[in-house]
Structure 1
Amino acid sequence: MNAPTLSRRSFIAASLAGGATLTFEAQLAFAASPMLPEPVTLNAFIRVMADNSVVIGAKNPEIGQGVKVMLPMLIAEELDISWEQVRIEQTDADQAKYGPQVAGGSTATPMNWLPMRQAGAAARAMLVAAAARQWGVDAATLSTEAGRVLDKAGGRSATYAALARAAAAETAPDLAKVPLKDPAAFRIIGQSKKGVDVPKIVSGQPLFGIDTRLPGMVHAALVKCPAIGGTLAKVDDAAARAVPGVIAVVPISSGQCPAGKMDALAVVANSWWTAHKAREKLSVEWDTAAQDGFSTEGYARAAADLLPKAPAATIFKAGDADAALAGAAKVITADYSYPFLAHATLEPQNCTALWHADGKLEFWAPTQNPGNGRKDVAAMLGIAPEAMTIHMTRIGGGFGRRLMNDYMVLAAQVAKALPGKPVKLLFDRTDDLRNDYYRPAGWHRFTAGLDAQGQVVAFKDHFITFGADGKAIRAAELSSTEYPAPVLPNVHMGQSFLATNLTTGWLRAPSSNALAFVFQSFMDELAEAAGTDLPELMRRTLGPARELPTERQGLVFHTGRARAVIDAVTKLAGWTGKPSTTPGKANESKGRGFGFYFSHRGYFAEVADVTVADGAVKVDKVWIAGDIGSQIINPINAEHQSQGAAIEGLAQALVLQPIVQEQGRVTAENFGEFPLLRMDGKPGEIALEWVKSDFPPTGLGEPALPPVIPAVANAIYRATGKRLRSLPLNLG
């Protein structure tokens, strides 16, 4: 995804329109002092207050990734104010005003690194221009510092607050030409800044979508077809409507069934508990004939039948893999797999919606992608996208689940049926687990050939995935440039398709979280067959430093950056390359494993130490080396993101259980069937080292996750001699 730019025209428009979104807290703060001057809006992101503090709008959804601090840091740096002057407010969703607003794909940094800095620099230029005009001097002779414009030659200065009114009348500069700071002069970027919401979170103050409270609000509980894609055939709701406190039973569509059909009901009451209990009294018949045949066991049987056959389609082909295998000194074959997974966000899906008398719709939504939510609701209700206002709440876990906006679509329909009443729709845990957009399962049969010198001369992968009409469904794709395909002479990567009724979607580090496991684990097998270790095999196959194209336009894979993080983490961990098992205490064995992956523009290599005792795996320590470019914008948050990603990767490797489907229905009810990683499952230590490179900074929400999964799998093999080729890693 290419980074967006702010045009001068859009900057001016934002300046004129930007006050409303960023003023509510400011108005409250100054309501008791009406004699103070009014705050001044310089652009959509910046509002200068009378006390010379500056309100900065954070435009992207905050999901725990720290973007609510990171983006304002970029603006504040170029505006040249001290961090103590900054007050941060979450903006509403308005892509026309703020540009793309999404939490996904680790895109916040690459998309906003320049635009947010340009917004701050342009406002600073306007303040300097206003001072130069008042003092009758050349703007080039003036400087700024900590929210003041300085005329050192004239021995005078003025606060931004004093200049703001005049600055707002200045012509906005060309953003493409506005001067930006030399990184050597950064005072905010590169310094650790704590999360702005942390005090409210730890003290239990309302921030999240689930906390929304509005006057006259009613509550909706969901009853959805148990087989995704099925439809409502018949309902008797008399008993539910007779429950005291129940207001209505509303048929609705999740958007997952044919147009014109309904696949859900919302029971609306004066409390969620009343609605929750009343839904038990509904008598519902569903049409699920087309879904009943899908099951986890059925998928596994079909995949086992397809793996030995030729792929139905080719993903990538180079040279002649079959001929190279025929002449290889060694041929290694292995089958790998991974299951469907749910997101299991701690805050279940929810949304509050209000249909106004004028036909406009207002949302309070914990959405990662409000723009797509706006589109989805517009399509379902047949209303104009601009007829909606979306207030973005903080999100209590998403991991990609809230990129899908079914909860907004559902809530909107209920709100339209009850105009004038704010309606909060809330999933319970079973609703959430059974109506997810799941990480898709997959099966791989790898075959590779080595020559007499241990070089990889042939590589084949038959990938069984889910798709229709010869195309993989969402989040089930395999790139033609998946490593090591681009660096080997003879490659054939093919795929075959299974059908499913399950809705699929992106789980943190989508595709990468599964593909890193299967590819890096199999390459560990190749390294052993070649008489070396995986870091050294990676160095051999990477070759000289160069850029290799990927499927994503404008994105390249740099072999030199990959090698640099491999070298860094092996040095950091004291990697010796010895494959032997290390004895521990009685009934214990210890092992060390390695993994590398290029994900979401980030290069990460990781080493894991594990102890295996009585069949249980304990991860003792993880070492991480990462290259995300030339700048670490907020070091404390970058450290937390990397550690958190590794811990989540461990959950996927060791704890998260497969989502099981029977007769088209997901069986999980709660965390008993889908347990999460607990505090005692985290490593004793996670060591981190950054490898700086001369490239623009990139995102960090995801790339540290994938390598830890193969690192742990490979460590278990070193500890036990048993190669685990399916997730979760289970020695039982």
Structure 2
Amino acid sequence: MADAILAPSRRGFLTAALLAGGGLAVEFSLPLGRAQAATVGTSAVGAFVSIAPNGAVTIVNKNPEIGQGIKTAFAMMIAEELDCDWAQVTAVQQADANPAIYGPQGTGASQSTPNNWLPLRRAGAAARDMLVRAAAARWGVDPSSVTTAKGRLSHAASGRSLGYGEVASAAAALTPPDLKTVKLKTPAQFSIIGKPTKGVDTPRVVKGEPMYGIDTRLPGMLYAVYEVAPANGGKLVSADLADAKAAPGVKHVVQLKGVGPIDALVDGVAILATNWWLANQARSKLKLEWDLSAQKGHSWDAYVAKAKTLLAEKPQLDLIRSGDVEGKLASAAKRVAAVYEIPFLAHATLEPQNCTALYKDGALEVWAPSQIPAGGKAQISKFLEIPEDKITFHVTKIGGGFGRRLRNDYTVQAAAIAKAVPGVPVKLLWSREDDIRRDFYRPSGWHGFEAGIDANGKMIAFKDHFVTFGKDGKSAMFANMHADHFPYGIMPDAAVVQSTLEIGVPIGALRAPVSNGLCYAFQGFLDEVAIAAGTDLPRLLLDVFAEDKLVGEPDQPEKAQTAFSTKRARAVIAKAAAMSNFTSKPIAPGRAMGFGFYFCHNGHFAEVVDASVKDGQVSVHKVWVAGDVGRQIVNPMGAEAQVRGSVLDGLSQALEGQKITFVDGQIEQSNFHDFRLGRNDRNPAVEVAFVASDSHPTGLGEPALPPVIPALANAIAAATGKRVRTMPIDLSALA
């Protein structure tokens, strides 16, 4: 389970300064507890808010904006407790990578909102406190008699009022309060949080203004491509660069030696030209010899064959075990068994990987769309031997990440190329083929399920033989299963056993890491169990979750929000079923509903898909989503957009033939013709409802994705009588 929001273990600090020309600039820093600090890799979180003499408010967004809406949501949190009018927030600026000032600046694991919910609000409240005290001093009254609203300070007894800008300079001279002591608003007092708010960058995005990494332009800039081995781990044996150097527009051809892990710098040749097209065309003139022996035998078909062998053999490891699983299976009135397979997936971000870099006089300046910019900065420093204090890392808006940009290989490559041509701005841009074939893929996996049902139709035993990637029985990162994954802690007699095979292709996090594969397999199989038990999946789950439990509950009560709650699960299951008028019976010939539920990234989500199968084609008509991410939705407009995007992303994975295959480590897919994305004309209506619970708000970038895939597969099974056990959906191969 992910760490919960922690109360500060030490005093939070806030400093104030006078802006040039007058006004208040507030910097705040809040140390976190050790568990959270370990998760994000540093021990402080910070941000800035400034108020100009005219009352205009500028807020600095500390985390990368990747489409999840935090640039707007963070500003809303600060502005709410500052008690200004939202219209006064005239600018929300993106911070550069600087952990010393801002603390953790990563975007991933749906942690931005939960990790910053209290710190950012406290900072806004602290700034408000300073303004109140400044106004009180001017009027000679007690601060407790001064109220705030919409960016103005009022003293009811004397009828006096001031705008924030009028006392901002005076407030800057005051001693900031302890962040732990500032008074926060109650939800009933919110005037910004909880109100649908358009994204602060939306007008610029609609106009097509340059904001993304790919838009970066510098005077005298050259465009670069970087040719690497066609298989992971390939070594450059020899290189004839003469023809590429002579190609039109080419200014430099640079051979680079790999250093560090594969997400740092691998062997390759950079071509720099006056425009990207010319640089990319010159690739065909390179004469390179590669040693690809390390990937020999690492092929998709070989993995499938080995996985089938492992499923038939004794498992290598007991991952989860409770009760007498084997005994309960042996005595069951019915036994259900099935094997599920999930594929490798690429991220396929719409904005390909890119980075612009300038190395001059021993210092490096970088512009990059990175989910973890501090990580990129650290890698560049470590592997290219440039001191971190000599690196300036500008964070651009990100055109899709989904976990791909948690890796900073493209930033290290750009920095290495720039270092090879000092004084020349270099823009490295990957082609779509580069992006598909050099990914860190969502790992595949296989599940050999078995469940036992008693004479009363109750599931009494559950077992999964999980075949994944790793070594010595231990799974690789992102190819794992959490030890508190269902059914652990819920069913008395349950087991997950595991076997591993070694992997040769790079793997990494993809939106809702781990969960996006596990949910499809588990919820698909449980739908089969429900049918065998004479019920449907919602009722089966409600029965299994009938007793109130917190699975994976941490020791501290304040962390309970990170636990899987059967009570919260029941609420969203019931809500989704009611919203859709769910039925497990076909609603028309070839048309039916399917159900899916999952808990991940602190979110409980239940989803229903209405789909039909006709003439060999699947059509999704509507999706209903019920989710619980705590007591407060910061920005309903952004939240619903995140849920809808998650649903469409999941449907795209299932319906569009998304699958990565390879032979001897060389990826067979190359572009959107053979790794297709969803299309607008196939997108269904998505109805979203949030179920409030007594918990801090948690993230929304990921937990709504996993349930839609099994819900779709279960709908197809109900409509056709044929079960989908392998993704992506191939109707010709249905069981």
**TM-score where L is the length of structure 2:** 0.93
Q: How far off is 1:356 after superposition?
A: 2.4
Q: Map 1:45-444 to 2 at 5 A.
A: 45-86=48-89, 87-252=91-256, 262-357=266-361, 359-444=362-447
Cα drift, residue 387 of structure 1: 2.4
Aligned to 2:293, what secondary structure does the other structure show? coil
Aligned partners of 2:499 and 2:317: how far apart in 1? 6
- Secondary structure at 1:496 match in 2: strand
Write the distance in 2 (CA, Å) between the matches of 1:165 and 1:114.
26
Does the 8 Å contact 1:218/1:271 carry over to 2? yes
Go from structure 1 to structure 2 and tell me whether the alpha carbon gap of 1:457 and 1:192 turns closer, same or farther (over 3 Å shift).
same
User: Displacement, 1:656?
Assistant: 3.9
Q: 1:284 to 1:401 in 2, by over 3 A?
A: same
Amino acid at match of 1:73: M
CA distance in 1, matches of 2:565, 2:261: 43
In the other structure, the counterpart of 1:23 is none
> Deviations along 1:554-587, whole A, 9 cap, x unmatched?
43111100000011111111124xx333434xxx
Contact 1:128–1:149, Cα closer than 8 Å, also in 2: yes
CA distance in 2, matches of 1:4, 1:546: 22
Alignment pair present for 1:592 and 2:614? no
The C-alpha deviation readout for 1:632-663, integer Å capped at 9, x for no partner, is 11111111111111111111121142111012
2:712 corresponds in structure 1 to 712
Identity of aligned residues (%): 49
Q: What is the deviation of 1:137? A: 1.6
Distance across 2 between alignment mates of 1:3 and 1:276: 47
| Aligned equivalent of 2:496 | 493
Q: Distance in 2 between matches of 1:148 and 1:701?
A: 35
Give the CA deviation at 1:60: 1.2
How many angstroms does 1:486 deviate by? 2.1
> Aligned partners of 1:127, 1:211: CA distance in 2, in Å?
39
Query: 2:244 & 2:7 partners in 1: Cα distance?
Result: 53
Distance in structure 2 (CA, Å) of the matches to 1:58 and 1:266 = 34
Residue 241 of structure 1: how far off its partner (Å): 1.4
CA pair 103-215 structure 1, distance change in 2 beyond 3 A: same
C-alpha contact 2:263 2:407 (8 A) present in aligned 1: no
Aligned residue for 2:295, secondary structure, equals coil
Cα displacement string for residues 334-389 of structure 1 (whole angstroms, at most 9, x for unaligned residues)? 000110000111110000111121x2211111011112112221221123333221
The answer for the alignment partner of 2:632 in structure 1 is 631
Instruction: Choose which of 3, 6, 11 in structure 1 pairs with 2:5.
Output: 3
Which secondary structure does the structure 2 equivalent of 1:474 belong to? Answer: coil
* Counterpart secondary structure, 1:77: helix
Q: Which amino acid aligns with 1:3?
A: I
SS at match of 1:158: strand
The gaps in structure 1 that reach 5 residues or longer are 20-26, 28-36
Structure 1 residues 382-417: Cα deviation after superposition (integer angstroms, max 9, x where no partner): 233332211111111111111111111111111111
Equivalence map 1:497-508=2 (5 Å): 497-508=500-511
CA deviations 1:494-515 (Å, max 9, x no partner) are: 1111112211111111111111
State the partner residue of 1:675. 676
1:703 correspondence with 2:700: no
Alignment match, 2:692: 692
1:41 and 2:25 are equivalent in the alignment: yes
Q: Aligned Cα RMSD in Å?
A: 2.0
Count of residue correspondences: 706
Conservation of the 8 A alpha-carbon contact between 2:366 and 2:393: yes
The match for 1:612 is 613
- Closer, same or farther: CA 552–424 of 1 in aligned 2, 3 Å: farther
Work out whether residues 341 and 656 of structure 1, in 8 Å CA contact, stay in contact via their aligned partners in 2.
no
> Equivalent residue of 1:12, what SS?
strand
Equivalent position SS for 1:596: strand
- 4+ residue runs of structure 1 moved beyond 4 angstroms? 4-10, 253-262, 550-554
Distance (whole Å) between structure 2 residues aligned to residue 280 and residue 677 of structure 1: 32
Choose 288-297 or 110-119, whichever is displaced more.
288-297
Per-residue CA distance 1:294-318 (angstroms, 9 max, x = gap): 1111110100111111211121111
2:649, 2:266 → 1: CA distance? 36
SS at structure 2 position matched to 1:523: helix
* Deviations, residues 153-192 of structure 1 (Å, cap 9, x unaligned): 1221222111111111111111111110111110000101
What letter matches 2:586 in structure 1? T
Question: Any conservation in 2 of the 1:484–1:541 contact (CA below 8 Å)?
Answer: no
Mapped contact 2:22–2:168 kept (Cα < 8 A):
no
* Structure 2: gaps of 5 or more residues: 28-46
- What residue identity is the alignment partner of 1:497? T
Q: How far off is 1:323 after superposition?
A: 1.5
Give the direction of change, closer, same or farther, for the CA distance of 1:362–1:679 in structure 2 (3 Å limit): same
Specify the SS of the correspondent of 2:489.
helix
CA distance in 2, matches of 1:416, 1:267: 14
Contact 1:661–1:667 (Cα < 8 Å) also in 2: yes
Q: How far did 1:692 drift?
A: 0.9
Once residues 451 and 290 of structure 1 are traced to their aligned partners in structure 2, the CA distance between those partners, rounded to angstroms, is 50
Query: Aligned partners of 2:555, 2:242: CA distance in 1, in Å?
Result: 54
TM-superposed deviation, 1:8: 8.5
Question: Which amino acid in the other structure matches residue 473 of structure 1?
Answer: A
